[in-house]
Structure formats: structure tokens, C-alpha cells
Amino acid sequence: PLPLVRVSDEVTQITTVKRAEDGAALILRLFEPTGEARETTLEVPTLGVRERVRLGAFEIKTLRVELATRAVGEADLLERPL
């Protein structure tokens, strides 16, 4: 079976994977723990999603993957698109 979510580097942490409260999206939270800005590739193989993500030092980034369109965008902590 394919993994639900993965990132391309060994440093970035996936801290949350859940269905959005409105049911229309998958919510993902990524964390950069080293204090160095970096880029990683986020993959959601079951949805065919692949997206480059930039993270600042110690940044927590919330992403919203729309299930209907497979579009990836940033969201706030209340899951609202930015």
C-alpha cells in the first residue's frame, strides 16, 4: 500500500494529518525543527498530489489539500484557506 503522506527530506516533520472539519479537504501540518529554512516536497500518493513547500526556521505550516480539485494551499490554524 502507498503511504498516506510523505516528505522528501528526513528533517521536516509531519505533525498532523486529518480530515478538515468541513469534510472537503485533508489538513496537513509540517514542522521545521532545526532552525534552518528549507524546502521539501510533500506527496499525497493516494490523491496524486506532489507540491514543493518552503518552511522557515522552526516554522509550523498548515496546508489544506482540497479533495475535489487536489489543489494545495496554506491555511490558518482554524483550517481556513489563506
pLDDT recorded at residue 11: 96
Q: What is the pTM of this model?
A: 0.91
Question: What do you get for the CA distance between the two ends of the chain, in Å?
Answer: 32
- Assess contact for 25 and 67: CB atoms under 8 A: yes
13-33 pLDDT tens trace: 999 999 999 999 999 999 999
In the chain, which residues have pLDDT < 50? none
CA distances 71 to 10, 62, 67, 74, Å, are 25, 14, 8, 10
**80 in helix, strand or coil?**
coil
List all residues 6 or more positions away from 1 whose beta carbon is below 8 Å from its beta carbon.
none
pLDDT recorded at residue 2: 80
pLDDT recorded at residue 1: 80
